[in-house]
Structure 1
Amino acid sequence: MSLGHALRRIAEEYPLARLEPPANHPLGWVIRRGAPDELRRLLGPQAGLLVKGSAGRGSRWAAVPWIAVFDPGVTTSATRGYYLVYLFPADREAVHLSLAQGTVAAIREHGPGAQASLRASGHGLRAALSDFAERLPERAIRLGTEGDLPGGYEAAHILGLTYGLDDLGDERRLTEDLAAGLSAYRALRARGGLAAVPG
């Protein structure tokens, strides 16, 4: 299974899969194992990165499934820090590659003001990564579903790319874009991470 094939399956099949029980669903396997395994293969063992995928918990599908790459020196969880992630909008067949901030920690700390706080810090982080603006030009993403987490994911976006389904057939482009995203991730860590944004 190539990365593009796995991402396309998720983008195409997730809306219908959510109408069925998630337990032992084949698409859940693609999200939790198939796509992450392919990402690990592309990254190589020397990268020292963690890859995880989430389709939800227990008997509930996630509103927005994701496959994320974590630098353990920054975070090992999508709840805090910052990380590189593929997100799948609910309202259209597309995939976002996003350098994003942890959402749940912001919700816990700022409550109803979490999205405003994430957007403000995202603006500062984009400025710190201005040399990546041309390679990763998406400054905002839409996930097409309501709720604290989807809204938080949108607000937490720093920079990235959006793919239509036809774009996912170009494995070389996906690999190059992944490398660009990882370069931005590493640059953000080298430049002070979230502390690069003035308080």
Structure 2
Amino acid sequence: MSLGYALRRVVEEYPLARPDPPAGHPLAAIIRKGVPDELRGALEPIDGPFLVKGSPGRGSRWAAVPWVAIFDPAITTSATRGYYLVYLFPAHRQAVHLSLAQGTVAAIRQHGPGAEAYLRASGDALRARLSDFVRTLPNATISLGSVGELPEGYEAAHILGLSYELADLGDERRLRRDLAAAVTAYRALKARGGLDLPGSGPGA
């Protein structure tokens, strides 16, 4: 299995899988293990360490937006806080987003109803901090096609990234090249102060 094939399986099969519980479902295993294993392989040529995790949802419910994330353990080991790289699978179209994103749950806990506005303002400032990556990771916004605190929070937490349509996932070389560029941006954000912005206090 290649990275592109693993991502394609999630994109194609997730809408069909949702009527069934995720427990024991083959697609849940692809999200938890198949895609992460392929990402670990793609990350091998890049000096780590990296922690890779995937989530199809919890218990008997699929996530509104399944994800597979890449963490630098020196920054965070959880999608709830800090910042990280993540593949997000929107509900409304056959696509996948690669996003450099801020931790959503921590922002919701800290800012409550103002979390989305906070994340968008922070994302704008962080994008400016990474202005030299805007050409290679041009997406300033993403759409996930789901209503709810978490999916809308993921949209707000996005800093920059790329989107792939189904046909794009056949280009393995491009996927790996884009991943390497995203890791470079991730590390650049760390070197340039992480989530700490003037007047914001510690954020990373």
Q: Which residue number in structure 2 is paired with residue 141 of structure 1?
A: 142
Matches within 5 A, 1:38-49: 38-44=38-44, 46-49=47-50
Deviations 1:124-147 (A, max 9, x none): 000000000000000000000100
Unaligned runs of 5+ in 1: none
Q: 2:40 is matched by which residue type in structure 1? A: R
Number of positions where the alignment pairs a residue of Structure 1 with one of Structure 2: 199
Q: Shift of the alpha carbon at 1:180?
A: 0.4
Q: Secondary structure of the equivalent of 1:192?
A: coil
Aligned equivalents of 2:23, 2:103: Cα separation in 1? 27
Aligned equivalents of 2:68, 2:21: Cα separation in 1? 20
Select between 40-49 and 147-156 the one with higher mean Cα deviation. Answer: 40-49
Taking structure 2 as the reference length, the TM-score comes to: 0.96
Q: Secondary structure of the equivalent of 2:160?
A: strand
Q: Shift of the alpha carbon at 1:44?
A: 1.5
Indicate if the aligned counterparts of 1:125 and 1:197 stay in contact, CA closer than 8 A: no
Aligned-residue RMSD, C-alpha: 1.0
Q: Percent identity?
A: 72
Q: 1:128 is matched by which residue type in structure 2? A: R
Q: Which residue number in structure 2 is paired with residue 68 of structure 1?
A: 69
Q: Secondary structure of the equivalent of 1:193?
A: coil
- Residue 138 and residue 197 in structure 1: after superposition, are their counterparts in 2 closer, same or farther (change >3 A)? farther
Q: Which residue number in structure 1 is paired with residue 55 of structure 2?
A: 54
Taking structure 1 as the reference length, the TM-score comes to: 0.98
Aligned equivalents of 1:197, 1:14: Cα separation in 2? 41
Q: Secondary structure of the equivalent of 1:162?
A: strand
Aligned equivalents of 1:15, 1:163: Cα separation in 2? 17
Aligned equivalents of 1:197, 1:68: Cα separation in 2? 28
Aligned equivalents of 1:103, 1:63: Cα separation in 2? 15
Aligned equivalents of 1:142, 1:198: Cα separation in 2? 29
1:78 aligns with 2:43: no
Q: 1:28 is matched by which residue type in structure 2? A: A
Aligned equivalents of 2:193, 2:106: Cα separation in 1? 19
Q: Which residue number in structure 2 is paired with residue 169 of structure 1?
A: 170
Q: Shift of the alpha carbon at 1:21?
A: 1.4
Aligned equivalents of 1:73, 1:196: Cα separation in 2? 19
Matches within 5 A, 1:3-152: 3-44=3-44, 46-152=47-153
Q: Which protein has the bigger helix share?
A: 1
Q: Shift of the alpha carbon at 1:198?
A: 4.4
Unaligned runs of 5+ in 2: none
1:186 aligns with 2:187: yes
Deviations 1:53-106 (A, max 9, x none): 000111111000000000001000000000000000000000000000000000
Deviations 1:109-160 (A, max 9, x none): 0111100000000000000000000000000000001000000000000000
Aligned equivalents of 1:115, 1:58: Cα separation in 2? 27
Aligned equivalents of 1:17, 1:197: Cα separation in 2? 45
Aligned equivalents of 2:31, 2:184: Cα separation in 1? 24
Aligned equivalents of 1:197, 1:113: Cα separation in 2? 19
